[in-house]
Amino acid sequence: MSKTTKQDARGDCYSANGSKLLQMDKPEGWALVHAIISSNGVRMGHCWLDYGGEVFDYSNGMEMRSTVEVWYHHYRVEKTWRYTNFEYLALSDKHRGPFEPELLALR
């Protein structure tokens, strides 16, 4: 049985989805979303990509896709911060996120 570290328990949503955004040839219209969600009654930070009313999440080796409405309802999204490719690039030179004090406090 393998040990779960804090890094594993938190997942890789910020780095996985941020990397996916930076790898895009045409990132216009895409947004990287950092958010406070509630999962199983626990408030936490999460990150995904948003384009044209759809959510794309590439965290933890998965590829999830949903409408914004279903995603926000399922994860009980409380608050979001949206970043364009250029905004994210400027912020991510030292780490991939989260950047917001409210999200950092949830870690």
**pLDDT tens string 72-96:** 999 999 999 999 999 998 988 778 8
pTM of the model: 0.87
**Tens-digit pLDDT profile for residues 40-70:** 889 999 999 999 999 999 999 999 999 999 9
**CB 55, CB 61: distance < 8 Å:** no
Computed from CA positions of residues 46, 32, 19, 64, in that sequence, does the dihedral angle turn out positive or negative? positive
Looking at the predicted structure, is the pLDDT value of residue 10 above 70? no
| pLDDT on residue 80 | 98
Section 20-27 average pLDDT: 94
Q: pLDDT band at 14, cuts 50/70/90?
A: very high
Looking at the predicted structure, is the pLDDT value of residue 2 above 60? no
Assigned token pair, 104: 């950092």
Section 24-39 average pLDDT: 95
| pLDDT on residue 9 | 46
Count CA within 13 A, CB hemisphere, residue 86: 3
Distance (Å, whole) CA 101 – CA 68: 24
Strand order of the sheet with strand 64-67?
64-67, 54-57, 42-51, 31-39, 79-83
C-beta atoms surrounding 40 within 10 Å: 5
